[in-house]
Amino acid sequence: KGLPLPFPNKPATHFMPQGVLCLVDPAESAPFDDEALENIAILLTTFLDRAGLSARSQKQTVEFATVHEISHSLTSSLDQDNIFRQVSDHIRRTLNVQNLSIGLIDKPTGDIVFANILMGPLFEDMASVRIRQGQGIAGWVVEKKHPLIVNDVYHDKRFYPKIDQQSGYRTNSILAVPLIVENNVIGVIEAINKRSGDFNEHDQHLL
């Protein structure tokens, strides 16, 4: 015997998403009734709600610490490669991604040129990765001045696969955000291949 019961019976502002409580095969001598299930659902929802709030608070604490560390790195060094390294390490750990790339706009041409130091060993024997204005996901983000999440790049016509083909690297998902200074786009930062799950709006906001 089973009786599914939607829970929690709360507004959407609570931390627990909607779910289902289903107790299967209660004892014949003491079957559960609707009121008993309702009470169990309320207790379970309260516990999970508090656990979700605690987990979210802990995650925010780590994220705030990361932002503080990155801010400190940016103000303590003027060396571009050193800044790229420190920013990359922090962001890769916080977003749990495989790789990070930063591309800056080359003013004479409008091309986006990516920092070699972040590209990884597969790119060591390649010339600097450079894409034309408006090309690829990075080009779209720079042109539109708008972030973009693509969790399956090979099914998105904006993706530029030539870099994967040349390097042997496999890109699966990208979160790309424009780098904007005083309303001018100077480049793009891309988090590549989230290790668990899909990129979401929270990742985008943090990046």
The tens digit of pLDDT for each residue in 53-88 reads 776 777 767 677 777 777 776 666 667 777 777 778
- Report residue 46's pLDDT band, with 50, 70 and 90 as the boundaries: confident
Q: Is the pLDDT of residue 154 over 70?
A: yes
Pick 68 or 152 by higher pLDDT: 152
Rounded to an integer, what distance in angstroms lies between the CA atom of residue 122 and that of residue 154? 20
Q: What is the pLDDT of residue 159?
A: 95
Q: What is the pLDDT of residue 13?
A: 45
- Alpha helix (H) residue ranges in the chain: 34-76, 80-95, 116-119, 136-144, 162-167, 201-206
Look up the pTM and report it. 0.64
Q: What is the pLDDT of residue 151?
A: 96
Q: Is the pLDDT of residue 32 over 80?
A: no
| Interval 92-106 mean pLDDT | 89
Q: What is the pLDDT of residue 146?
A: 95
- Asked if 110 and 153 count as a contact pair (C-beta separation under 8 A), the reply is no
Summarize pLDDT for 5-20 with one digit per residue, the tens: 555 555 544 455 666 6
Rounded to an integer, what distance in angstroms lies between the CA atom of residue 158 and that of residue 136? 5
User: Could you say which DSSP state residue 14 is in?
Assistant: S
Q: Is the pLDDT of residue 23 over 70?
A: no
Q: What is the pLDDT of residue 36?
A: 73
Rounded to an integer, what distance in angstroms lies between the CA atom of residue 111 and that of residue 131? 6
Q: What is the pLDDT of residue 157?
A: 95
